[in-house]
Structure 1
């Protein structure tokens, strides 16, 4: 009885026990897919007429969601202001007014169909020519109209009156288990810190961590579980290299934002949904190349790019090679390389290394044994654990890219991270991953604050796009934009005095002017 009374009070007070996705009828679900993907329930392709000439294009290339957003409200872009498509606004009995000032009556199902298919409003005025005119069957039009009537109620999962549900993928076993545990500790510490301060707009944060498992298939199942079963609102700082070729497409399909340093270890995943606080491997390698071009006599080569034989690393190596060649580097060679491999090409003036830390010192030892002491370039997060094993003959010939250095840390930033470390019993291990996870949580918090109490995934994305010179207290200032998802596009360059184990900053952070 007492339990039932408590449940009843919760229901009366409007407090939701869990965030559930809106239940849609089959026709409404079909309309939702048409709205978001431009796909017909029949499986037949949908076409749209574009421009004054009525050029036919597939609707999949310009679905409604592209301009009107997942919430239907529409945001200005490229001088075009898409109207609000929520049914309350469309069917208002007070009439409507276009941006150009022309008035017209409220929409009905019939006049809405004419607007979608012929580009005319209820007053028979032509709509903006930028709007496609879709060629729809009666059933497709009925489904789309049915969904538009529910659009305003189709709230994003993972967000309810008193909680915000986040998710991530972090390995609990295998080669990256230590890194996974470190990131998990930072995220949990940040969640506790935010919740103790009252949450975000009164919502307490909840974090679900799943192990991506040993391979691509298991990682995809874990990602699907977070999105479909756990129904998280957003992903935060995952560590799942097996998904580097699949993550972006899956997030775009589900409309789930992700904030985290995905490309630290390999290929950049370009997506509207993905925001990276730190420079990726590509950006760090290009920063090293730019420093070497300006400071060291290395352009004439030969130059070797050594990388592990993995798809993401191979792609990053190929892009680096093209960048070097486009910037007057000569005799650039790529070589897949493993820690147990002895057949390493010799005679290089410069070596760019990509891979695990254990292979870095072995590569240096083999080069020195062969009488070779070239310049070595690497990203600090890939080789930091092995750096002091490098032979002393490479002293001040090793150059590392760092996303941040101690001088970037403000007093407040250092204190906040220290408190998280002490709470979670962490040391300074995997510092780049720690700062990446901490910065991701700061960006998530700021984005949700700016999105407001009536937040949505779309509003979070817009808020993050609007962040410029955001101060994490631990990194250079971070900026995003409508076409920019990498918060930092350069790196500090540091060289190492190996006998004394001292680090020297030789080039401070500088954004890369042009990316390949």
Structure 2
């Protein structure tokens, strides 16, 4: 009889722990969340900002008692913005660190490299860094994306220029990378020129990594371009504007949202253009002021200095993920977390983005954009238009 009781007790113990046996990353006291990002190389300021956002969200959640009593622990891998390293980094996080979910996913090519591992492991994943269509089309059951398309960001900016700034005798022009990212930029440009019926002056492509744009900008001037869709990023965007200023070109400029970050502004502002940016993240209002003030409580001085738009959006991503995990109670599994993420409806981000809802066919949210304009003298942005949905109906 005593032996039978011991056997039954052991069986009950096995049953009580079976919920966690299949889903690594969860203990009685912790939940391990992964982050693969750019911590080295020229774009490392993006990865540092992402890590800061995750760290702050985890600190706030843990201080409030964690997720149903479990503390969030962040495990980070550096991919140096190299897709092959992204794959290997996530493989390590899954197999060695045994993460439960993923928040923080590097660039477009990088998340695409990670998707096979994400799908194979049914890994709950919130993508905040790169809301590319290739990530959510086709839909992956465990992947949830926050952010707008570059197509809509460029269309929204050009629509504001057309409707509100009303340039005289507009001639539109496009310069963009010769890759999938550039194609999405051109999609927004193409939609705008067709809808507005404006003159499509010229469309130019350049190879990623190009630094000298003198020939391209001469072509823009020869075409009479005074409304430019600038598909360059960081140094590339700055070099394009610098060449245009040398030629005294008077232009309205639409830009990639990377151009609202301090390092980008520092490079581009000397050209003197009051360029526009369309972004699905708040930049300069009460929401970001509150975030920055709170950050001083949880982050070091160096970490606070690293904050940019990627910090805000990754912070939101982890908060949404925590909300979903909370809905599972003590019996936390990946399958339950994915189910709860699909139920997220109008999650309030405190104004850092539009409210988040994943109860849609694409598991995509936060797509509304704000339109900002740079004052090149002060290097500050003014909000021209509040969160607006520019997606094609």
Q: Same fold (TM over 0.5)?
A: yes
| Displacement after TM superposition at 1:399 (Å) | 1.4
Match in the other structure for 1:37: none
Match in the other structure for 2:86: 219
Q: Which of 437, 445, 449 is the matching residue for 2:322?
A: 445
CA deviations 1:340-393 (Å, max 9, x no partner) are 232112221211122322222321221122232221111343353233554678
Q: Which of 343, 364, 381 is the matching residue for 1:486?
A: 364
| Displacement after TM superposition at 1:169 (Å) | 0.8
Match in the other structure for 1:341: 213
Count of aligned positions: 368
Give me the whole-angstrom Cα distance separating, in 1, the residues matched to 2:14 and 2:168.
65
Match in the other structure for 2:135: 269
| Displacement after TM superposition at 1:443 (Å) | 0.8
| Displacement after TM superposition at 1:415 (Å) | 4.8
Mean Cα deviation higher: 399-408 or 202-211: 399-408
CA deviations 1:313-347 (Å, max 9, x no partner) are 22322432443355245426432233223211222
Residues 156 and 308 of structure 1: is their aligned pair in 2 closer, same or farther, counting only changes over 3 Å? same
Match in the other structure for 1:123: none
Q: Does 1:510 align with 2:388?
A: yes
Unaligned ranges ≥5, structure 1: 1-10, 23-151
| Displacement after TM superposition at 1:233 (Å) | 1.4
Q: Does 1:386 align with 2:264?
A: yes
CA deviations 1:410-446 (Å, max 9, x no partner) are 886555444334x464235441011012111111111
TM-score (norm. length: structure 2): 0.80
Match in the other structure for 2:158: 289
Match in the other structure for 1:138: none
Residues 268 and 439 of structure 1: is their aligned pair in 2 closer, same or farther, counting only changes over 3 Å? farther
Give me the whole-angstrom Cα distance separating, in 1, the residues matched to 2:107 and 2:269.
32
Q: Which of 339, 364, 375 is the matching residue for 1:462?
A: 339
Unaligned ranges ≥5, structure 2: 1-9
Q: Does 1:180 align with 2:40?
A: no
Q: How does 1:74-113 map to 2 (within 5 A)?
A: none
Give me the whole-angstrom Cα distance separating, in 1, the residues matched to 2:121 and 2:58.
24
Give me the whole-angstrom Cα distance separating, in 2, the residues matched to 1:494 and 1:240.
23
Larger helix share, 1 or 2: 2
8 A Cα contact 1:277 1:439, kept in partner: no
Give me the whole-angstrom Cα distance separating, in 1, the residues matched to 2:301 and 2:134.
30
8 A Cα contact 1:189 1:424, kept in partner: no
- SS of equivalent to 2:258: helix
Give me the whole-angstrom Cα distance separating, in 2, the residues matched to 1:165 and 1:299.
56
Match in the other structure for 1:235: 102
Larger strand share, 1 or 2: 2
Give me the whole-angstrom Cα distance separating, in 1, the residues matched to 2:94 and 2:74.
13
- Name which one, 1 or 2, has greater alpha-carbon Rg: 1
Q: Which of 359, 363, 369 is the matching residue for 2:240?
A: 363
TM-score (norm. length: structure 1): 0.63
- SS of equivalent to 1:451: coil
Match in the other structure for 1:377: 254
After TM superposition, the runs of 4+ consecutive aligned structure 1 residues lying more than 6 A away are: 11-16
